[in-house]
Structure 1
């Protein structure tokens, strides 16, 4: 099915802009990141009434929801703002406009949001945006934010390998349509030449998560969640930590290939395959950085099997408590 048809079926309008003409957002409830960039941008554009988000949490969503009246909601900025906007729009059943100011994640249009409830992050059903506005001029100079988005897309390969494992070990069944959308998003990003193609890659990945995020979030995102809690203080982007998770999951798949046979991708050379793809897209060293952080210790990863045990992945077959993660990390870093 053509990309445009996928959006039309879901009532999603996609618009690309090359300047800061966001007049159509006036009079709407704008939710944005508390960081200085999006806040300063909105103020410079004459928007004074908006709701800044410091944490993607259910608590913040509830607080902002109390202040929102019946009008369209805009998620303007990064993943935190867009996820909170998704939750509120879904709860109030009102229109959502998504304006991702950087290509840092694949949740631009996904029908779920990732929010903290207390100290634990949960994936919560939401709704599709009625409209997505892609500011290409902002995306062009997005640097590490773009690298984070590319990592988030490549992580689909780990998620698909985990699905294959769940099919083999537990007899679970998954949609071929969503698996195809997930892999197509990776193929497109590996060969994309401009921001529009990158946007299509991220949107395809979002569509693959229509029924569940499992098609794009597996054992690598469980590593991401663990590292987010253990070493991150706003220092690393979501996609960057997902990239770190890609390397760790792929390496464990390869090290335990004798126990992980006959899957979608050959386990024995899985790490080399993944590493080469990440090097091709210039995100390999970017994903390595959290492993070089002074706060990171390999033994942290012993807990990863406990992060999301209800979602069957690599960590349900290979118990993280029994893995020599010092060896894993040393082999990754080289």
Structure 2
């Protein structure tokens, strides 16, 4: 009998709206995740106490854990606390560091994880990976996908614009990542998953073509959905291939060579635009450049505080960050001199687009 379908892991619940944090208790009960509020609520510094006070009235049986997220140590410490009691779910509320810490700890002890995002800086809100610091730098760890992904637009709107801008860069970079994957398929016969590509590309296309701004609920909803689809696409693919190509290699290189330069989303957005130029896709290049400029993201090295020579060095180093991944950077194998020439041509293409 032929295989007629396949099973794909996705969150049971996806909700993007205002007031989600205050309605958390009823939402978890309605979705049969936790009828009595027996959950571990994980919040980070900053707005953590405010968030906990907002959701606790409807979660009478919850325990609240404050974490200084973002590291393996903090995730392990949280895990040790979680095993002292039986919980229906771990609810990570906040930004990427808090959510990744909660995802890792929940996976370690086999507890369902609920993401409640208060910012839209990256696709970690739904992805099956957690990015955490350790003694040797930063690592990406496989974790269970959240069973529910909830985005509270009240918090997103009131948060720093730069976080939302970073999310835009991360989401639209999927277009470049998918193009790199298709290149690897054509040149090296690397297996490609059409469903994963469709999910990642659909969300990114919707975002690139949306006429709104980061002050519009419609645009923020589209951004949230694009990031969620990117995370699901990685789960479908069994790797980060549909969301990470040469753009991410450049970003990882910048982190290694010039740590603290800019946010992940700003760097991968710039990396995606440069890689699109290298693939000689003028229509896509113009589309991406227009999107990044429209939302205030960097389109050249100076925009993230790097000199042209530093960016050249990052591009040269980039393939070493993912030796197993084939992208336009590995395909071209540019020398430093060739990279400088391509960067000069890239700057000219940006000027032409601006004119």
The TM-score bracket by the shorter chain reads 0.7 to 0.9
Report if the CA contact (8 A) 2:23-2:55 is conserved. no
Residue 313 of structure 2 corresponds to 300
Does residue 197 in structure 1 map to residue 226 in structure 2?
Answer: no
Residue 41 of structure 2 corresponds to 30
Structure-2 separation of matches of 1:242 and 1:134? 23
Report if the CA contact (8 A) 1:253-1:270 is conserved. no
Report if the CA contact (8 A) 1:228-1:241 is conserved. no
What are structure 2's unaligned runs of at least 5 residues?
1-6, 29-36, 57-62, 213-217
Quote how far apart the aligned CAs of 1:183 are.
Answer: 1.0
Of the candidates 206, 212, 217, which is equivalent to residue 239 of structure 2?
Answer: 212
Report if the CA contact (8 A) 1:148-1:240 is conserved. yes
Structure-2 separation of matches of 1:295 and 1:49? 47
Count residues in correspondence: 312
Query: CA separation of 1:228/1:15 partners in 2, compared to 1, >3 Å: closer, same or farther?
Result: same
Query: CA separation of 1:116/1:169 partners in 2, compared to 1, >3 Å: closer, same or farther?
Result: farther
Query: CA separation of 1:228/1:32 partners in 2, compared to 1, >3 Å: closer, same or farther?
Result: farther
Residue 181 of structure 2 corresponds to 163
Deviations 1:157-196 (A, max 9, x none): 1101111111121111211111111110112212445133
Report if the CA contact (8 A) 1:275-1:284 is conserved. no
Quote how far apart the aligned CAs of 1:64 are.
Answer: 2.1
Report if the CA contact (8 A) 1:231-1:296 is conserved. no
Structure-1 separation of matches of 2:136 and 2:328? 24
Report if the CA contact (8 A) 2:266-2:304 is conserved. no
Query: CA separation of 1:64/1:250 partners in 2, compared to 1, >3 Å: closer, same or farther?
Result: same
What are structure 1's unaligned runs of at least 5 residues?
1-6, 255-265
Structure-1 separation of matches of 2:8 and 2:324? 34
TM-score, with structure 2 as normaliser: 0.76
Residue 83 of structure 1 corresponds to 100
TM-score, with structure 1 as normaliser: 0.81
1:101-116 matched pairs, under 5 angstroms: 101-116=118-133
Residue 51 of structure 1 corresponds to 66
Structure-2 separation of matches of 1:308 and 1:201? 24
Quote how far apart the aligned CAs of 1:8 are.
Answer: 10
